[in-house]
C-alpha cells in the first residue's frame, strides 16, 4: 500500500506517504492508541493532587459506578491504569496525558509549541525571526493553561461599541482560543508514527493558526463541524478522562460539553463580529485559521448606515458585511455564518433580494446570493424613496396585484412584495376588498388617501 497509493492534489497525482496510509487504515475503525500501555510506569508517575481530585470527582458524580471502589479499582475501571506487557499494572497513554508528572520524559514531542511571527510570511524582518517562541510541556490540563497564557500575552486589544459604551477586548476571544487549543490536543493523532509532531499554534498579524497531526476522524466532514449533534473522536478514552480532569488552576474541566466546542467557538466569534474560522482538513493534519479582522468594523457600520435600510436583523447585517467582501452565500453558508434557523435564512435572504441589496443567482437548491458592485462601493442605482414613489404612482388610480405592479414598473416581483409590505406598514396602501394572501401574485392592493398624497406626481400624471 505504501508503495502504490496516490492522492489527487490540484492538477497532479501525489504519492501518499507511509504516515498518510497509516492514518487512512486506522480510520477504518476506532483508534486505540490512547489506550495503549506505557511500560515502566506506575501510579507514582501521576500528579498526586490532580489524581486525588479526579478520584474524588468520580465518586461524587458517578456513585453507582465508582462509589464503593478502592482508588486503584477506580483508576483501572476508568482507564487510567491497565495491565502491562509483563503482567504488571501500568499507566495508559491517556492517563499519562491527563494526569502524568513530567510526561515529556517519555513523550518529549507530545506537547504544544507557540510562535509569534512579526509578519505574515514568517520571514526574517530586520533580523527578527519571531517575537515569542514557547514550548509548552506537561499534562494536557497544564498545557491548556500555559498555552492560553502565552497566546493572550501576545495579543493586542481592540475597541468595540456596546450598549454600555466602548470597551477593550482581546483581538481573539479567549473562549475561542481555549476551544481551539483543547480540540487540537484532544483530537490529535497519538499513534507512534505521530509522536514526533507537536500541536502548533502560530500568531501572525493577519491570522491565528492552530494545527495538529491527523485529520478529522470518522464520519464528520468540515461542512458538518457547526452542526448540532455531530461529533466523532479519534481518542475516545482520552476524551472521557478529560471530562473529569480540571484545567490546572481552574474549576472547569478540560472538556466540558462533548461535541459542542466548535459551536461554542462559532457563537463567541459571531458575538465578537468576526469572520468564522477556516478549516483545512488533510489526511495527515487538521488546521484551523482565525482571520484577524472584524466583519463589523467602524467602516462597515458606516457603510450599513449609508444604505438607509431600516429593520435589518443582526444576522442580515453580518451577511451583508460578508457579501460586501466578495463572498457569495447560499442557505447552508448563511446558516453557518449567522447560526439562525434554515427557514429564517430563506426569509432573510429573500428580504435582502427584495431590498435590491443582493442579487440571486440560480434557483431552489442551487440558489446563492451575491452583492452587486454598485452596492458594495456605495453607488446605489435607486434609493428606497424612488421605489416607494414608483409603486404609489402606479397605484394612484388602480387596484393592482404584485405581478401587475411589477409589469407596469419593471421592478422585480420580489422587490415589489418587499415594498408592498413596507407601504402597508406605513398606511400608504391596503388590501383591496377582494383580499387574499400577501404572498400570492393574485392579491390586489389599493392606495389609501395618505398614499395618494405621498406619491410625487410626474408631468404625465392626469
Strand partners, 366: none
pLDDT surpasses 80 at 311: no
* Region 53-76 average pLDDT: 92
CA–CA distances in Å: residue 161 to residues 179, 264, 294, 298, 305:
25, 22, 12, 9, 15
* Interval 317-370: pLDDT, tens: 889 988 988 889 999 889 888 878 888 998 899 889 888 888 888 887 788 999
* Region 112-124 average pLDDT: 85
Contact 338, 321 (CB under 8 A): no
Q: Which helix (H) or strand (E) is 281 found in, with range?
A: strand 278-281
Residue 225 has a pLDDT of 79
Q: For 135, phi and psi rounded to 5 degrees? A: -105, 120
* Interval 131-168: pLDDT, tens: 999 999 999 999 999 999 999 999 987 655 544 455 66
Residue 164 has a pLDDT of 46
124 vs 194: which has the higher pLDDT: 194
Comparing C-alpha atoms, which of 387, 310, 323 is closest to residue 349?
Answer: 323
* Interval 193-224: pLDDT, tens: 898 899 999 999 889 999 999 988 877 888 77
Contact 141, 254 (CB under 8 A): yes
Q: Where are the alpha helices (DSSP H) in 157-221?
A: 174-187
Directed axis angle between helix 331-338 and helix 342-354, to 10°?
110
Strand partners, 368: 361
pLDDT surpasses 60 at 443: yes
Lowest mean pLDDT among 42-51, 66-75, 185-194, 381-390: 381-390
292 vs 149: which has the higher pLDDT: 149
Mean pLDDT, all residues of the chain = 84
Q: Which domains does the chain have, with CATH numbers?
A: 1-26 (no CATH), 27-105 (no CATH), 112-291 (3.30.565.60), 298-376 (1.10.10.10), 384-454 (1.10.10.10)
Q: How far apart are CA 41 and CA 153, in angstroms?
A: 36
Local structure of 233: helix, strand or coil: coil
Sheet (strand 278-281) strand order: 132-136, 112-116, 199-203, 207-213, 285-291, 278-281
Residue 437 has a pLDDT of 63
Residue 342 has a pLDDT of 85
* Region 172-196 average pLDDT: 92
424 vs 286: which has the higher pLDDT: 286
195 vs 433: which has the higher pLDDT: 195
Residue 381 has a pLDDT of 43
Contact 382, 372 (CB under 8 A): no
Q: How far apart are CA 67 and CA 60, in angstroms?
A: 8
Residue 60 has a pLDDT of 92
The DSSP secondary structure of 136-163, one letter per residue, reads E-SSHHHHHHHHHHHHHTT--EEEEEET
pLDDT surpasses 90 at 248: no
pLDDT surpasses 80 at 44: yes
Residue 113 has a pLDDT of 96
Q: How far apart are CA 438 and CA 421, in angstroms?
A: 8
- Report pTM: 0.71
- Percent of the chain exceeding pLDDT 90 equals 34
Q: For 8, phi and psi rounded to 5 degrees? A: -85, 125
pLDDT surpasses 70 at 399: yes
Residue 214 has a pLDDT of 92
pLDDT surpasses 90 at 278: no
* Region 242-254 average pLDDT: 88
pLDDT surpasses 70 at 35: yes
Compute the residue count for the chain: 462
pLDDT bin (cut points 50, 70, 90) of residue 395 is confident
pLDDT surpasses 60 at 459: no
* Region 38-48 average pLDDT: 92
- Percent of the chain exceeding pLDDT 70 equals 89
- Whether the CA torsion 16, 35, 211, 266 is positive or negative: it is positive
What's the CA angle centered on 352, arms 347 and 356, to 5 degrees? 140
pLDDT bin (cut points 50, 70, 90) of residue 462 is very low
pLDDT surpasses 70 at 386: no
pLDDT surpasses 80 at 103: no
pLDDT bin (cut points 50, 70, 90) of residue 461 is very low
Lowest mean pLDDT among 64-78, 107-121, 163-177: 163-177
Report how far apart the first and last C-alpha atoms of the chain are (Å, whole number).
Answer: 84
45-54, 293-302, 414-423, range with greatest mean pLDDT: 45-54
Cell 461529533, residue located: 231
Amino acid at each position: 500500500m505504501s508503495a502504490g497509493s496516490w492522492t489527487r492534489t490540484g492538477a497532479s497525482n501525489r504519492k501518499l506517504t507511509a504516515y498518510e496510509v497509516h492514518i487512512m487504515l486506522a480510520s477504518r475503525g476506532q483508534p486505540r492508541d490512547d489506550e495503549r500501555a506505557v511500560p515502566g510506569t506506575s501510579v507514582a508517575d501521576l500528579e498526586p493532587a490532580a489524581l486525588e481530585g479526579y478520584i474524588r470527582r468520580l465518586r461524587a458524580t458517578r456513585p453507582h459506578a465508582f462509589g464503593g471502589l478502592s482508588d486503584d479499582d477506580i483508576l483501572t475501571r476508568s482507564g487510567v491504569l491497565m495491565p502491562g506487557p509483563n503482567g504488571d499494572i501500568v499507566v495508559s497513554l491517556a492517563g499519562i496525558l491527563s494526569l502524568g508528572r513530567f510526561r515529556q520524559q517519555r513523550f518529549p514531542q507530545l506537547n504544544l509549541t507557540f510562535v509569534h511571527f512579526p509578519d505574515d510570511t514568517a520571514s526574517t524582518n530586520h533580523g527578527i525571526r519571531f517575537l515569542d517562541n514557547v514550548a509548552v510541556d506537561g499534562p494536557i490540563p497544564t498545557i491548556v493553561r500555559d498555552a492560553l497564557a502565552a497566546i493572550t500575552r501576545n495579543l493586542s486589544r481592540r475597541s468595540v461599541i456596546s450598549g454600555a459604551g466602548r470597551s477593550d477586548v482581546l483581538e481573539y476571544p479567549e473562549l475561542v482560543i481555549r476551544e481551539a487549543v483543547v480540540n487540537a490536543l484532544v483530537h490529535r493523532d497519538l499513534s507512534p508514527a505521530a509522536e514526533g509532531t507537536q500541536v502548533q499554534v502560530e500568531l501572525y498579524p493577519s491570522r491565528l493558526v492552530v494545527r495538529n497531526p491527523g485529520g478529522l476522524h470518522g464520519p464528520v466532514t468540515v461542512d458538518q463541524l457547526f452542526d448540532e449533534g455531530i461529533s466523532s473522536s479519534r481518542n475516545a478514552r482520552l476524551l472521557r478522562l478529560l471530562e473529569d480532569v480540571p484545567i490546572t488552576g481552574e474549576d472547569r474541566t478540560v472538556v466540558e460539553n462533548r461535541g459542542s466546542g466548535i459551536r461554542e467557538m462559532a457563537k463567541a466569534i459571531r458575538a465578537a463580529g468576526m469572520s468564522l474560522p477556516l478549516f483545512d482538513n488533510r489526511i495527515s493534519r487538521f488546521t484551523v485559521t482565525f482571520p484577524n479582522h472584524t466583519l463589523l468594523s467602524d467602516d462597515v457600520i458606516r457603510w450599513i448606515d449609508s444604505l438607509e435600510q431600516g429593520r435589518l436583523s443582526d444576522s442580515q447585517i453580518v451577511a451583508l458585511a460578508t457579501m460586501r467582501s466578495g463572498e457569495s452565500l447560499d442557505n447552508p453558508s448563511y446558516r453557518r455564518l449567522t447560526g439562525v434557523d434554515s427557514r429564517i435564512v430563506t426569509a432573510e435572504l429573500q428580504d435582502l433580494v427584495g431590498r435590491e441589496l443582493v442579487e440571486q443567482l440560480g434557483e431552489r437548491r442551487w440558489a446563492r446570493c451575491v452583492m452587486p458592485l454598485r452596492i458594495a462601493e456605495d453607488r446605489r442605482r435607486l434609493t428606497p424613496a424612488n421605489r416607494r414613489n414608483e409603486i404609489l404612482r402606479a397605484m394612484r388610480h388602480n387596484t393592482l396585484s404584485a405581478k401587475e405592479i411589477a409589469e407596469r414598473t419593471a421592478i422585480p416581483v420580489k422587490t415589489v412584495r418587499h415594498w408592498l409590505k413596507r407601504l402597508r406598514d406605513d398606511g400608504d396602501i391596503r388590501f383591496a376588498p377582494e383580499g387574499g394572501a400577501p404572498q400570492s401574485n393574485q392579491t390586489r392592493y389599493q392606495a389609501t388617501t395618505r398614499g395618494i398624497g405621498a406619491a410625487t406626481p410626474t408631468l404625465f400624471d392626469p
